[in-house]
Structure 1
Amino acid sequence: MELVTPGIGLIFWQTITFLLVLFLLSKFAWKPIMTALRERESSIENALSMAEKAKLEMQALKAGNEKLLAEARAERDRILKEASEASNQMIEAAKAKAGEESNRMIAQAREAVTNEKRAAIAEIKNLAGNLSVEIAEQLLKRELKDATAQQQLVSDYMKEVTLN
């Protein structure tokens, strides 16, 4: 049983050794270990705070990127709308110009038809007048073969001219 129960001398020397090791550790090792632990703790806290700052910055950047993306989309929509309006305006202007041009061409065609009609009527009148003169000339030649009939026609014509 002596093996299981320690002796008083063993306990004494173990206590003195323990106190000596405790004194030496507290004198030489405890301060550097505690300093290293404090430095480690502060570096971990700094790393955590920097990670939190980085997280906040990332959220701010993400919000900024989303804002820029929304602005870019709005700008794209505005440009597309302006382009659509411009194309509609150009189409309407082209339609209006084509309508005006067709109206002008129709008016010119009507005027040309009217001018051609007038020219044809004038030509028909001239032709009718020429034919009437030729017919009258032929009739007068037949009726006025003798001199007395010619004298009678001239005197009748003179009476009509003085009356008008």
Structure 2
Amino acid sequence: MEMIFLSGFSVFRPEPGMMFWALVFFLTFWFLVSKFGFRPISNYLRTREQSIQDALDEAKKARAEVENMKSENEKLLAQAAQERAVILKEAREMKEQIVSEAQDKAKDEAQKIIASAKMEIDSQKNAAIAEVRDNVGGLAIEIAEQILRKQLGSDAEQKSFIQKLVDNAKLN
């Protein structure tokens, strides 16, 4: 039955009635689509385009931020390396200063110990010399006494010798 209904219809041969209704349907469809379809689709496309552009802008900002943070990180690393070098230099200088001060202090202490030892040695030497003098003086007196006893055997000789020493002592 369909074949009978469409048997007189030819697609390649336009008929004015068919063209009129096709035009009416097309204009109605165009009106409805433009009224209810094009605006929402256009708005959706504009919104989508704006969101894509915003996403691209955000990506550019993020990339710029990453580059900025990267350069700041490099600056911080360079600054940290520089500060580390300064701290190491100061530590080396401080170490050298402490070692130098310790050496100077050790030298001063050694000088003090040497000076104290020299003073102690001189003191002991002087004490030893004084003791030797005392001993030598005592020994000399003993020896002189023994020599005089041998030479001056009698009391009269001893008295005359003592008188002679007293006379000589008064003269000096």
TM over 0.5: same fold? yes
Counterpart position of 1:131: 139
Structure 1, residues 47-98: CA drift from partner, whole Å, max 9, x if none?
Answer: 1112212222222222222222222222222222222211111111111111
Counterpart position of 2:90: 82
Structure 1, residues 34-56: CA drift from partner, whole Å, max 9, x if none?
Answer: 11111111111111112212222
In structure 1, distance between residues paired with 2:68 and 2:29: 55
In structure 2, distance between residues paired with 1:22 and 1:68: 64
In structure 1, distance between residues paired with 2:31 and 2:163: 174
2:43 to 15, 35, 38: 35
- The reply on whether 1:99 has 2:99 as its aligned counterpart is no
Matches within 5 A, 1:1-164: 6-9=12-15, 12=19, 14-164=22-172
In structure 1, distance between residues paired with 2:15 and 2:31: 21
In structure 1, distance between residues paired with 2:10 and 2:116: 135
For normalisation by structure 1, the TM-score amounts to: 0.84
The SS at the match of 1:87 is helix
Which AA in structure 1 matches 2:132? I
In structure 2, distance between residues paired with 1:154 and 1:75: 96
What stretches of structure 2 of length at least 5 have no aligned partner?
1-8
In structure 2, distance between residues paired with 1:158 and 1:94: 67
For normalisation by structure 2, the TM-score amounts to: 0.81
Q: Which sits farther off after the overlay, 49-58 or 37-46?
A: 49-58
Q: How many residues align?
A: 163
> Sequence identity of aligned pairs in percent?
40
